[in-house]
Amino acid sequence: MRAAAESPSKAIVSGEHFVVHGAWALAAAIDRKVRVEVSDSDRLTIASDRVRSRDSARLRPLETVVRAMAREYSFSPNVSVSVRSDVRPGTGLGSSASCLVALAAALSALHSLGLGKAELVRLSMEGEREVHGRPSGIDPAVCAYGGVILFRQGRAPTRVAVPGSRSLLLAYSGKQRRTRDLVERVSRFREGNPRLFESLGRSVSEVSRASAGMVSSNDLQGLGRLMNLNQAVLSAVGASDRALDAVAGLLLELGAYGAKLTGAGGGGCVLAVAPEGKEKSIISDLGGRGIESFLTTIPVGGVRSWLA
């Protein structure tokens, strides 16, 4: 028997880092996909087109999810897992969450478990904890549900309607980094500045909720302004760096309404919203300066699986 699943990846629009400490955050699925195939086998094997065999330790979180599901649903952990990914790891686009959610969905299809999105998120978190240390759960949630979600730890995500533009612009700042290191850095800032961090967290929660309203009223200019505010706050708590600040600044100069780091920061990607129709010229201007970028839409459905 063979099954497959495909999950979108994601961009955080507002509230990264603060969401780890209880704030509201807003995230969008993006149409860079991870596809996982599983089939019965005589032993557990895992291969990924993004991970060289000498780095196979990076695949351990997948093994954790296979073994956790095998224990919980009483099936054999002897499966062959194969991963194909459009998502560059370490760039803030949720490659690990997307992969783990797709894996849980593929195993659910293989064993006809009929698991819902909330269950897939819960199971993928077994692996996410190994990748990140203390993940908030926003990444697997948006990969599983798709679209745009308003998220707070411990609550079911709220879907946000997207009636207008579904275009997001993403630019690479040129450096890969580990989410775990950045989460620790921001947590140290919080320990040293508890009152400041708490008050910033309350503001970020408001910014996330207001941003959700702007997405549903298609107010891209308003959303852009809030993204710029978010970038300033993320920079203040140590999540940005010179390259990210420079790419975000350049995007504004080129006409974007707003630009901010997305995900853990310290490298990785900048997310921007731009006037409709202007995105292509911004991408070509960035390319002329050696900065790789792309336009993505927001897929609605989230992870999907099938018997192959």
| In the complex, least distance from residue 183 CB atom to ligand PMV, rounded to whole angstroms | 5
**Binding flag, residue 240, ligand PMV (CB under 6 A):** no
Q: What's the rounded Cα separation, in Å, for the pair 280 and 249?
A: 18
Residue 173 touches ligand PMV, criterion: CB under 6 A: no
Sign for the CA dihedral angle at 62, 108, 84, 294 comes to: negative
- Told to check if 140 binds ligand PMV by CB under 6 A, we report no
Closest approach of ligand PMV to the CB of residue 248, in Å: 16
What letter would DSSP give residue 176?
-
User: Are 38 and 3 a contacting pair, CB within 8 Å?
Assistant: yes
Closest approach of ligand PMV to the CB of residue 151, in Å: 9
Q: What are phi and psi of 82, to 5 degrees?
A: -130, 130
Cβ 93 to ligand PMV shortest distance, Å: 6
Contact with ligand PMV (CB under 6 A): which of 37, 126, 130, 139?
Answer: 139
**Residue with tokens 């196979």, as numbered in its chain:** 56
The DSSP result for 8-60, as a single string, is EEEEEEE-TTGGGGT--EEEEEEEEEEEEEEEE-SS-EEEETTB-GGGGGGGH
* Stretch in the footprint of ligand PMV (CB under 6 A) among 13-21, 73-81, 211-219, 222-230: 13-21
* Count of residues that bind ligand PMV according to CB under 6 A: 16
* Local structure of 171: helix, strand or coil: strand
132 binds ligand PMV, rule: CB under 6 A: yes
CB of 286 to ligand PMV, least distance (A): 21
Residue 238 φ/ψ region, left for φ over 0, alpha for ψ in the -120 to 50 degree band, beta for the rest: left
**Tokens 């207001």 sit at which residue?**
210
Which residue in the set 5, 28, 48, 94 belongs to the binding site for ligand PMV (CB under 6 A)?
A: 94
Decide: is 136 part of the binding site for ligand PMV (CB under 6 A).
yes
Binding ligand PMV (rule: CB under 6 A), the pick from 3, 5, 19, 244 is 19
Is position 266 an interface residue for ligand PMV (rule: CB under 6 A)? Answer: no
- Is residue 17 involved in binding ligand PMV (CB under 6 A)? yes
Contact segment (CB under 6 A) with ligand PMV among 44-52, 133-141, 217-225, 274-282 equals: 133-141
- For ligand PMV, the closer CB: 4 or 101: 101
> Residue 92 in contact with residue 47, Cβ under 8 Å?
no
Q: Which is nearer to ligand PMV, 136 or 205 (CB)?
A: 136
Q: Can you point out the beta strands (E) in 43-140?
A: 45-48, 79-85
- Of 209, 11, 184, 169, whose CA–CA distance to 98 is shortest? 11
Whether 139 is a known active-site residue: answer yes
- Positions marked catalytic: 139
Per CB under 6 A, residues contacting ligand PMV are 12, 16-17, 19-20, 92, 94, 132, 135-136, 138-139, 179, 183, 263-264
